[in-house]
């Protein structure tokens, strides 16, 4: 215990002394930008050659949406430490905030000339190319990022987006599904699912569940049976979690099976029973069923797609008492 107390005292002595190597990351990671500016401005005035202090001051001002001051300080840091790729990268970010896209790209290239494996510089240069419609150049850099960081969400997402814009639909479908496998939640997942559906692939679908637009992996059954796969169970788990949080509304299960309404009915019941067995606290009355012996028709843009076997979920809002 005495050692921990002593280390704590040493830490605060270092912090109060304004050592940029320690205090810089602390204020940045804790979002205490104004305090960081106060402390490191004193240090930089005492030692104008302190590149670390200049760098973190630039980061603080950038976080406070003051790109002019940020740019000046970050350029100072990069001049003081010309072999630091990260400093040069953040100069580029500051130029982006100033809408100076030519200098932004130049800064990223300089960062890469110092360290060609700087993931952030590769990624942001790719973003810049994408904004300019330079798809081939952007795609090459996103591929490079994914070699170094195979789960990078921005690279995965934008790679799929570029392939879609290029009309390479088969490759695009594959890349959208890869992105959604790793990142099935949030606004990017919703948009990615819409793009995938426009390409005629409904292995993921968006549903309005309560007040949220939620992406779910489509419910799949073994042909001619009510046996669903593991991924379907994960989607039902998400629905159950939403029902526990939203205790007011009901969620309609609608099953389609072309030419076999009885199988559609059995599948709808199977889904409800699966949820109720796993979550007995949910009222069965909140899971009404419908089934149809026809295909489901889905319109996307100017095209209509037909799904022979499918499941939909529809929120049934609770009627307000008059």
What's the pLDDT at 230? 79
> Above 80 in pLDDT, residue 7?
no
The span from the CA of 198 to the CA of 173, in Å, is 10
What's the pLDDT at 321? 44
What's the pLDDT at 254? 98
Could you say which DSSP state residue 286 is in? G
What's the pLDDT at 13? 40
| Least trusted range by pLDDT, from 39-43, 75-79, 155-159 | 39-43
DSSP characters over 84-106: -HHHHHHHHHHHHHTT-HHHHHH
Structure confidence by residue, pLDDT tens digits, 53-105: 999 999 999 999 999 999 999 999 999 999 999 999 999 999 999 999 999 99
What's the pLDDT at 3? 43
- CA nearest neighbour of 217 among 249, 185, 246: 185
> Above 60 in pLDDT, residue 134?
yes
Altogether, the residues listed in the chain come to a count of 322
What's the pLDDT at 112? 98
> Above 60 in pLDDT, residue 210?
yes
The span from the CA of 153 to the CA of 192, in Å, is 12
Domain with CATH 1.25.40.10 in the chain: 1-115, 126-201
Stretch 140-153: mean pLDDT, rounded? 98
> Above 80 in pLDDT, residue 2?
no
Query: How far does the chain reach from its first CA to its final CA, in angstroms?
Result: 64
Q: How far is CA 130 from CA 59, 107, 161, 195, in A?
A: 25, 17, 10, 18
> Above 60 in pLDDT, residue 8?
no
Domain with CATH 3.30.1330.60 in the chain: 203-322
CATH topology of domain 203-322: 60s Ribosomal Protein L30; Chain: A; (3.30.1330)
CATH topology of domain 126-201: 1.25.40
For the whole model, what pTM was predicted?
A: 0.86
Stretch 142-158: mean pLDDT, rounded? 98
What's the helix, strand, coil split of the chain in %, to 5? 60, 15, 25
Percent of the residues in the chain that have a pLDDT greater than 90, as a whole number: 86
The span from the CA of 103 to the CA of 75, in Å, is 12
Mean model confidence pLDDT for the chain: 92
> Above 80 in pLDDT, residue 162?
yes
**Strand duo 204-209 + 212-217: pairing:** antiparallel
Block residue for tokens 């797609």: 305
Structure confidence by residue, pLDDT tens digits, 60-69: 999 999 999 9
Name the CATH code of domain 1-115 (choices 1.10.150.530, 1.25.40.10, 3.40.980.10, 3.40.50.1360): 1.25.40.10
Structure confidence by residue, pLDDT tens digits, 264-319: 999 999 999 999 999 999 999 999 999 999 999 999 888 999 999 999 999 998 76
Stretch 35-42: mean pLDDT, rounded? 94
Structure confidence by residue, pLDDT tens digits, 108-129: 999 999 999 999 999 999 999 9
| Least trusted range by pLDDT, from 130-134, 230-234, 291-295 | 230-234
What's the pLDDT at 319? 64
């Amino acid at each position: 215990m005495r050692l921990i107390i002593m280390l704590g005292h040493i830490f605060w002595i270092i912090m109060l002394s304004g050592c940029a190597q320690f205090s810089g990351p602390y204020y940045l990671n804790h979002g205490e930008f104004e305090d960081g500016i106060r402390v490191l401005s004193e240090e930089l005035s005492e030692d104008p050659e302190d590149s670390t202090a200049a760098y973190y001051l630039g980061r603080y001002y950038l976080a406070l949406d003051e790109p002019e001051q940020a740019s000046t300080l970050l350029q100072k840091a990069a001049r003081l430490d010309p072999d630091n790729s990260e400093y040069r990268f953040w100069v580029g970010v500051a130029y982006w905030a100033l809408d100076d896209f030519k200098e932004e790209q130049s800064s990223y290239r300089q960062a890469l000339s110092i360290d060609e494996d700087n993931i952030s510089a590769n990624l942001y240069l790719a973003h810049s190319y994408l904004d300019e419609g330079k798809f081939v150049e952007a795609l090459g850099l996103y591929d490079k990022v994914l070699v170094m960081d195979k789960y990078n969400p921005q690279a995965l997402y934008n790679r799929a987006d570029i392939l879609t814009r290029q009309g390479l639909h088969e490759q695009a479908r594959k890349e959208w599904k890869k992105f959604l496998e790793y990142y099935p939640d949030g606004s990017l997942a919703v948009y990615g699912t819409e793009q995938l559906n426009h390409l005629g692939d409904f292995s993921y679908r968006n549903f309005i569940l309560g007040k949220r637009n939620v992406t779910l992996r489509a419910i799949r059954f073994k042909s001619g049976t009510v046996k669903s796969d593991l991924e379907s169970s994960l989607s039902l788990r998400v629905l159950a979690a939403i029902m526990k949080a939203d205790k007011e509304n009901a969620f309609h299960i609608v099953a389609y099976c072309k030419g076999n309404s009885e199988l559609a009915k059995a599948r709808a019941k199977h889904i409800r029973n699966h949820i109720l067995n796993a979550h007995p606290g949910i009222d069965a009355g909140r899971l009404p069923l419908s089934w149809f012996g026809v295909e489901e028709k889905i319109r996307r843009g100017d095209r209509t797609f037909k799904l022979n076997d499918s499941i939909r979920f529809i929120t049934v809002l609770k009627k307000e008492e008059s």
